[in-house]
């Protein structure tokens, strides 16, 4: 994907590394880099969650996926068994409660309850969205905190705060103007366009090579598509793998050059 960097003075990087507080004004639009886009795989819920988990895999939590590094993590085929396992697919694809044993809890779809009766094939429970993140990441050896909020409780300010802190989110939206929720998507950007409204950046989960899609940040309605119904927050609690000492010393010796800032909540 096209990445948009935030370049900051090295002295500020040093301050942040030392734990000193700093605030940085960010101009719109703002997009988090390193969020992989995946082809829809046995459900929009686990696919959207997979993009967010892939992001954290690349940013210091390398055991979340079996694949390693951007070149591998960005490819759906390399992470598909962690999105929805072969055992899960055999049980629920395409008919809920197909013959066969209940699959073990090894993939995002297992914790999400994707395609489990009485759901249609590919559908997931909103109520299990936070469980999907917490259960799967714990299974892979990390501790994450996740929770859901409905439109109204969740605000534009909340979105900006999360993205500025380096935390992509998951939205449950109405992508078809049906008046009800229909689709989970990963969200990793925002853009305040003044008179043209507030916009959020997402992947629609239907293409591995897609670039950031922009939709207006507004409630669901039968008058427009991509209205927002719910938001899921995802925060790592476990510390990321630290920057190696040699790399850190090299950074401190670079003088006035800049690097991209990332904050972890």
- Please state, in angstroms and rounded to a whole number, the distance separating the CA atoms of residues 96 and 149: 28
What does the block give as tokens for 104? 């073990």
Tokens representing residue 157 in the block:
């300010």
User: pLDDT at position 7, please?
Assistant: 36
CA nearest neighbour of 65 among 90, 26, 34: 34
Cβ atoms 17, 174 nearer than 8 A: no
The CATH classification number of 7-260 equals: 3.90.70.10
Q: Are 234 and 144 in contact (CB under 8 A)?
A: yes
3-state secondary structure of 215: strand
Contacts of 161 (CB under 8 A, 6+ apart): none
d(CA 74, CA 66): 12
Closest CA to 23 of 165, 162, 191: 165
Closest CA to 263 of 2, 50, 17, 5: 17
- The confidence score (pLDDT) of residue 27 equals 59
Q: What is the pLDDT of residue 243?
A: 53
Domain positions in the chain: 7-260
- Which DSSP letter does residue 151 get? B
Sort strands 259-260 and 7-8 into parallel, antiparallel or unpaired.
antiparallel
Q: What is the pLDDT of residue 242?
A: 73
| Conformational region of residue 45, where left means phi above 0, alpha means psi within -120 to 50, and beta covers everything else | alpha
- Alpha-carbon span 48 to 54, nearest angstrom: 10
pLDDT along the chain (265 residues), means of 10: 38 39 57 97 97 98 97 98 96 83 96 93 95 98 98 97 98 97 98 97 95 97 98 97 52 34 34
Contact 94, 73 (CB under 8 A): no
Phi-psi region of 202 (alpha: psi -120 to 50; beta: other; left: phi over 0): beta
């Amino acid at each position: 994907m096209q990445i948009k960097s935030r370049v900051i003075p090295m002295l500020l990087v040093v301050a942040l590394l030392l734990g000193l507080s700093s605030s940085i004004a960010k101009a719109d639009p703002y997009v988090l880099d390193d969020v992989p886009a995946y082809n829809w795989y046995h459900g929009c819920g686990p696919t959207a969650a997979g993009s967010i988990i892939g992001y954290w895999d690349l940013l210091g939590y390398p055991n979340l996926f079996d694949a390693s590094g951007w070149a591998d993590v960005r490819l759906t085929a390399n992470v598909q068994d962690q999105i929805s396992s072969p055992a899960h697919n055999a049980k629920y694809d395409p008919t809920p409660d197909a013959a066969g044993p209940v699959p073990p809890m090894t993939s995002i779809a297992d914790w999400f309850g994707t395609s489990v009766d009485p759901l249609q094939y590919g559908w997931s429970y909103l109520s299990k969205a936070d469980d999907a993140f917490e259960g799967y990441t714990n299974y892979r050896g990390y501790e994450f905190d996740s929770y859901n909020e409905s439109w109204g409780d969740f605000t534009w300010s909340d979105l900006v705060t999360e993205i500025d802190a380096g935390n992509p989110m998951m939205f449950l939206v109405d992508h078809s103007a049906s008046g009800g929720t229909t689709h989970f998507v990963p969200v990793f950007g925002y853009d305040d366009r003044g008179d043209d409204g507030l916009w959020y950046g997402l992947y629609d989960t239907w293409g591995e090579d897609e670039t950031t899609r922009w939709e207006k940040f507004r409630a669901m309605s039968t008058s427009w598509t991509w209205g927002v119904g719910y938001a899921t927050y995802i925060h790592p609690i476990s510390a990321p793998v630290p920057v190696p000492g040699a790399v850190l010393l090299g950074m401190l010796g670079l003088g006035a050059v800049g690097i991209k800032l990332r904050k972890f909540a």
